[in-house]
Chain A
Amino acid sequence: MEHLILRDLDIPNLQDISVYEQHGGYDALRKAVKEMTPDQVTDVVKASGLRGRGGAGFPAGVKWSFLPKGVFPRYLVANADESEPGTFKDRQIMERNPHQFVEGIAIASYAIQCHNAFIYIRGEFPYAAQCLEKALADAEQRGYVGKNVLGSDYSLTITVHRGAGAYICGEETALLESLEGKLGQPRVKPPFPASVGLYNKPTVINNVETLCNVPVIIERGAEWYAKIGTPKSTGPKVFCLSGHVNRPGNYEAPFGSISFRDLIYDFGGGIRGGKKLKAILPAGASGPMLSPLANPAVMDVKLDFEALAPFGSLLGSASVIVLDEDTCVVWAAKKMVRFFEHESCGKCTPCREGTYWMSRVLERIDAGIGTLGDVDLVAGVATQMQGRTLCPLGDFSTSPVLGSVKIFREEYERHIKERGCWARK
């Protein structure tokens, strides 16, 4: 099937503006600005059912329509902070199909009547930032951004803002703080950014992949788009596949069209070395682990935003990390919790202290010096943290622990009894 987002896989040199134009690039922007009112654009995006690809799946058009009437200026911020372990889709988009992203920003900005949009890109993506700067310069030269977009009376400036190493800045309010030149720490919600956002003004924040769907929707229409995927999760999704598979990479497929089995064994070419599958992390480090050993049905459920809820997990931004039969889950959980310990912004105590303690206990069990009570101890710390933290990072950090203890408690206990890891010789 034709790619709608990862179009660089079908079209060579798509990062060149002339190639992008030859393939219909910026036609959607032209249509929006010349033939549609801003509210019409929002209505089409609403009708398409497009949901946010940054993890939470909130309907994009609905979010845009939340901006309070008559309050200006308004801002659009594209979230290109992509830092979830196992996520690498936005980077590919920005490096190889940057104009679709720019076009999406321009259309979304027009829809909400924003004249000043920002791209917050993580500091560790220097090449992608360069690609964006080039794409923006070319787009401006051809009149797609800047003063009087395509000869209309709508003007738009897009500024690339580079982060400097902090996962928490992917959380939308921490991102806004960071963009305002402060420490990247989440704000208390409400108020939500739609009413009090960047510089206290109404603000829309959308993920890179979300915005890349917008030109497709405007060009081909909401009805056409909504037929892709499932009624509640419309459109295509980019799945990031990593870990113990033969062909890790970004794979695009309509929501509800593929299962983990399809993704891992067809797209990904199966498990490396012909080994067996032990566990799947469906949402990077942030969603609870799944395993066919615990429930074989998980392999065949068709993936959309809601599909994993019955299994106690979530799809998030669809960063699927695959662990083979030889992987030690205690070690894997330790690695992920260490990530959250490092990335906790320190603003609230349960998260700061909790990630610290979970990390220490997991290290101890992994090193073979844990005691049998440690399994309940670490699970207890995680349970205590749930729902008590200011932002979702705190909850995310409990997933590696609670998910793995639930399925692989024996393995934890074996570690403790045998004083170390049997999987790692």
Chain B
Amino acid sequence: MLSQQAKSEIQQLMTKYPDARSAIMPALHLAQREVGWLPDDVIQEIGDLLGLSKTEVNGVATFYTMYARDQPGRHTIMFCADLPCALRGADEMLEHLEHKLGCRASQTSPDGKITLQEAECLGGCNHAPVMLIDGAEHAQDLTSEKIDEIIERLRNT
């Protein structure tokens, strides 16, 4: 369920665009920030606010990779697996990360804390390897030590 505040923020967003439907992506971002992911009832609520069917909202939510329709761990890591990063050791770093987390890409660590996703180029190929943490923070020039530190930090928050 969305908070009253989130709902009024979504209504605010709708006025920013010539057509309210354009507010669907920012609304999904906002909801995901608040709830952590996008369960069915939230999809329904957003649809109700925007005057769209649940199916329409769901279609948009599933088209884009950054929206989580399944409950992820408390944190999500998007790890870049594209060629420029792979040329600078990304495949080995990904293996290290999988080993550290005890799960593979598209899975959540057994302690339920961290979900690992493979991502496409994150625009940091000059600082490869690169990953994006919680959709909010780039971690670049990754080494196994740096990855270990980040995982410790995420496990404790």
Contact = CB atoms under 8 A, between A and B. Distances in A.
Contacts of B126: 88, 240-242, 248-250
Interface stretch (A47-55, A122-130, A189-197): A122-130
A244 B137 CA distance: 25
B83 A183 contact: no
A159 B12 CA distance: 13
Interface stretch (B22-30, B108-116, B146-154): B22-30
Interface string A74-118: 000000001111111011000000000000000000000000100
Contacts of A243: 83-84, 87-88, 125
Main secondary structure of the interface of A (DSSP, over half): mixed
B25 A163 contact: yes
A330 B18 CA distance: 48
Interface in B42-66: 50, 59-60, 63-66
A183 B60 contact: yes
A248 B128 contact: yes
Interface residues of A, number: 53
A161 B123 contact: no
A126 B64 contact: no
Do most interface residues of chain B lie in helix, strand or loop, or is the interface mixed?
mixed
Interface string A208-220: 0000000000000
A7 interface: no
A36 to B, nearest CB: 27
Nearest to A116: B18
A224 interface: no
A297 to B, nearest CB: 25
Contacts of A225: none
A311 interface: no
A164 B64 contact: yes
Contact of B21 (A86, A122, A125, A181): A181
A249 B125 CA distance: 8
B17 A159 contact: yes
22 contacts: A84-B121, A123-B135, A125-B123, A161-B22, A161-B26, A162-B26, A163-B25, A165-B120, A179-B22, A241-B126, A242-B126, A243-B88, A243-B125, A248-B88, A249-B126, A250-B126, A281-B83, A285-B82, A285-B83, A321-B83, A335-B81, A339-B82
